[in-house]
Amino acid sequence: MTTQQIPLLGEALETPITTLLKPLLGAHMPTAGGHHKAILGGTAIGCETVQIFTASPRQWRAPSISPEMAEVFRRTLAESGITKTVAHDSYLINLAAEPGSEVLTKSKAAFRAEIERAESLGVNFLVSHPGAHGGAGEDVGIARLIESLDAIHAETPGMKVRTALETTAGQGTYLGGQFEQLARIIGGVKEPKRLAVCLDTCHVFAAGYDIRTPETYAKTMHLFDEIIGLEWLQVIHANDSQKAFGSHADRHAHIGEGEIGLEAFRCLVNDPRLAGLPIIVETPESETMHEVNVQRLRELIA
C-alpha cells in the first residue's frame, strides 16, 4: 500500500485498488499435448498463474522430461507473462508410510522424480499432501515424513523448487489437518527453506477452521500466522466446499456455491498480505468452469 498503513484483516480497504498489489489468479490446467499447453490454456481463460501435473497423478512411474520439452515450456512461459507456476505431485505418494514398506520406497522414488521434473520445467512450487500415518499415530507419522523429506533433499541438492505442504481436511489418519502439524514438519527438517505451505480453503474449512465471515477469516489467518507464520504461505488453493464445516470431507465446489460462500473469497483476494501469491482454483468441471471461477475471484477484488 502506498498511502496508508496496511489494515488488519476484516477492516475496510480505503486505498484504491490501483495502489495495491494483488494476488495472482489462476487454475489447475491440463497438459495434454505437452506441458506448455497448460500455459497456453491458462492465458486463454485469463490466468495469471497455473498449476499442472508433471505426470499422471495416479501412476507410480513416469517418464522424465526431455531438454526439448523443458525448453518449450520455459519459452512458452516467458512469452506468456505468467510469473509463478505450481505443480502438484502424485496422489499415490505417502512419505509418512511405514519404513521399509513398498509404499514408502515407491513414494520416495516418485517424489524425488517429481522434484526433478518440476526443477527441469522451472516450476516455482511443488504442492504435496503431507501423507498419512496409517494408524501409527501423529508423532510417528510426522517423524517418518521429516525423515523422508531430509533423505530426498539430500539426494536433490541445489534444487530451487520449493515443496509446498498442503493443508488437508484431516480425514482418517492424514496429516496436515492441523496447523500445528505443518509447523512441526517445517521446524523438524534439516533444510526448512526448501519447504512452504499451500493453504486449501476447502480443506481448512472441512478441518474445522472457519473462514466464512471477515471475523472468522481474520481469526483463522491469525492462527496460521501465530502457529506457522504467514511467511511460509506461498500457494493458495481457492475451492468452495460441498460439505459442512468441520466435516473432514474433501469435496470441492464452485466459488460461492458451497458451504463456505463468497465472503471468504472476498477476504482472501483483498488480503494485502497475500499480494503476489498464486491463488489456484481446483473446482469441478474444469473444462467449462475454471474460467468462470477465476473470473468470480477477479470480480471480488475491491
Residues assigned a catalytic role: 58, 88, 91, 129, 166, 200, 203, 237, 250, 252, 282
Cβ atoms 65, 54 nearer than 8 A: yes
Question: How far apart (Å, rounded) are the C-alpha atoms in residues 140 and 223?
Answer: 24
Beta bridge partners of 237: 200, 280
Q: Which helix (H) or strand (E) holds 225?
A: helix 214-227
Beta strands in 151-269 (DSSP E): 162-166, 195-200, 233-237, 240-241, 252-253
Backbone φ, ψ for residue 22 (5° rounding): -115, 160
Question: How far apart (Å, rounded) are the C-alpha atoms in residues 64 and 281?
Answer: 27
Helices (H), 64-213: 67-80, 102-121, 138-155, 179-188, 201-207
Q: Which residue has the cell 505451505?
A: 197
Closest CA to 113 of 137, 134, 92, 132: 92
Q: Which one-letter DSSP state was computed for residue 132? A: B
Question: How far apart (Å, rounded) are the C-alpha atoms in residues 154 and 218?
Answer: 38
